Structure 1
Amino acid sequence: MDMLKKIQELSFMAIELTLYLDTHPHDQNALAHYNIITQQLNALKQSYEQRHGPFIAYGFSPSAYPWQYINEPWPWQIEY
């Protein structure tokens, strides 16, 4: 659960920085921060998938055999 919360936090930061960089493309500090957040987010998602299976289907995450995205609980079904 803590891992999913951290993924949500990093995803929110990445989205906000993306929107900011759309209007401030020459802000080097914001871009550096975005790149750090993106690396952390990707590493955390990879760690989540190694423990619990695919985080997102539709070509974003590979799956072990058999197809694992249908395994429960799905990320939104976990109670906090």
Structure 2
Amino acid sequence: MADQLTAATIRADVAELLHRRPDESFDTEDLFDSGLDSVRLMTLLERWRDAGAEVSFVELAERPTVQQWVKLLVGRDE
């Protein structure tokens, strides 16, 4: 788990790459259906690894929603 990551930072990072507002309700949307691609996913992965996350590309790709990523990276729903 990464101490520096929060649900808000995860949501903001995803919103930035998908050209969305972080306050929009998109936590349960399939991010691949919303325009996320493998290059953007790698960008997020590297950003979150730099913040201390220990997560793989496959773990994120298999759970393509903000809600699931928060559980995976932060360890709780927010």
TM-score band w.r.t. shorter chain: 0.3 to 0.5
TM-score by length of 1: 0.35
TM-score by length of 2: 0.35
Identify which of structures 1 and 2 has the higher relative contact order when contacts are C-alpha pairs closer than 8 Å and 6+ apart. Answer: 2
